[in-house]
Amino acid sequence: MEKTHVKIKFPNQFGQYISYIDNLEFEGTKIDDFINTLDGIYGDIKERIFESDGRVRPYINLFLGSKNIESLEGIHTKINNGDTIALLLSRAGG
Amino acid sequence: MLKIFLLNVHLIATIVWVGAVFMGTFIDWPAAKKTVKEDEFPFRFIVGQGSRVFYSVYTGIFLIWSSGIGLVILHPPQTPREILMLVGKVLALTFMTGFTMYGTFFTWPKLQLATHKEAHQLYENYMKRAMATFTFGLIAAVLGLWIY
């Protein structure tokens, strides 16, 4: 299977669950493959990002480059070598 | 005239902030947790509510502090009793603001990325601080009535 290398820009609150890595090489070419790889290595990653029906939690924003994946093809969005994947949280709580 | 305006702003901001805490703590959470299975956390509802309450709570905090400072300048405490009550009110507001900011900067980012099990633990602790915030809010409001 094709391998893809990506840069990761996640907030510290999430970085702690993935040993603060800032890049990853994984098998596959889609967001889904990327998340599955993280989940396989670090555990619980899918539960932290997705709802039980498989959708990204509504207040979590996953970006491929400067585009929210929800405006692309969601978890089926294709990733190219060298792309940056970022995660942003909504401002909430008080 | 300015004093009446500031008193009204102070009162409305208090209602918004303490009311939001009351609603979230005593109405929303007990109802929301019954809408999901026991081992699940109602992320969509709770974080959705948290996103909406953020702006009203911080608007309330800003208005309470700014109108409160204005009122103290216009009507400085005169007697030892008034000074004591003002100190009590400022302490209560400081605790409220501290608990709220701790929630925003530490609890909520963790909550948004938590597993269901972690979220329950985080939110139980958050609820304890919310109840303390509500209690301090009532204390501050009552002290404010006595001062004026």
Q: SS3 for A84? A: strand
Chain A residues in contact with B63 by the CB 8 A cut-off are none
Q: What is the pLDDT of residue A94?
A: 73
Instruction: State whether A58 and B48 contact (CB < 8 Å).
Output: yes
Q: What is the pLDDT of residue A51?
A: 87
Taking residue A24's Cβ as centre, other Cβ atoms within 10 Å add up to 16
Task: Report pTM.
Answer: 0.85
Average pLDDT over residues A25-49: 94
- Residue B130, H or E segment: helix B116-147
Chain A residues in contact with B44 by the CB 8 A cut-off are 51, 57-58
Q: What is the pLDDT of residues B113-142, one digit of tens each?
A: 999 999 999 999 999 999 999 999 999 999
- Partnered with residue A50 across adjacent β-strands are A56
Q: What is the pLDDT of residue B134?
A: 95
Show the tokens assigned to A16.
């702690």
Place A4 in a pLDDT band, splitting at 50, 70 and 90: very high
Q: What is the pLDDT of residue B92?
A: 96
* DSSP category for residue A50: B
Q: What percentage of chain B reaches a pLDDT higher than 70?
A: 99
Interface test with B, best of A16, A38, A42, A90 (most B CBs within 10 A): A90
Q: Parse chain A into domains and list their residue ranges.
A: 3-89
Q: What is the pLDDT of residue B73?
A: 95
Question: Are B47 and B24 a contacting pair, CB within 8 Å?
Answer: no
Query: Which residue has better confidence, A28 or A52?
Result: A28
Taking residue A88's Cβ as centre, other Cβ atoms within 10 Å add up to 14
Q: Which residues make Cβ contacts (< 8 Å) with residue A58, sequence separation at least 6?
A: B44, B47, B48
Q: What is the pLDDT of residues A47-81, one digit of tens each?
A: 999 988 888 888 899 999 999 998 999 899 999 99
DSSP state string for A6-44: EEEE--HHHHGGGTT--EEEEESSBHHHHHHHHHHHHSS
Q: What is the pLDDT of residue B10?
A: 95
Residue B148 has pLDDT above 70, yes or no: no
Residue B14 has pLDDT above 90, yes or no: yes
What is the CATH superfamily name and number for domain A3-89? Beta-grasp domain (3.10.20.30)
Q: Parse chain B into domains and list their residue ranges.
A: 2-147
Indicate the residue type of A57: R
Of B21, B36, B20, B10, nearest to B127 by C-alpha is B21
Q: What is the pLDDT of residue B38?
A: 85
Those residues of chain B whose CB sits closer than 8 Å to some CB in chain A are 20, 40, 43-44, 47-48, 50-51, 53-54, 57-58, 100, 103-104, 107-116
With tokens 């800003």, the residue in question is B62
Chain B residues in contact with A13 by the CB 8 A cut-off are 109-110, 112-113
Q: What is the pLDDT of residue A17?
A: 94
Average pLDDT over residues B27-43: 91
Tell me how close the Cα of B79 comes to any Cα of chain A, in angstroms. 35
Q: What percentage of chain B reaches a pLDDT higher than 90?
A: 84
Question: Are A87 and A11 a contacting pair, CB within 8 Å?
Answer: yes
Instruction: Round to the nearest angstrom and report the end-to-end CA distance of chain A.
Output: 46
Chain B residues in contact with A91 by the CB 8 A cut-off are 51, 54, 104
Q: What is the pLDDT of residue A92?
A: 80
Average pLDDT over residues B72-88: 92
Q: What is the pLDDT of residue B35?
A: 92
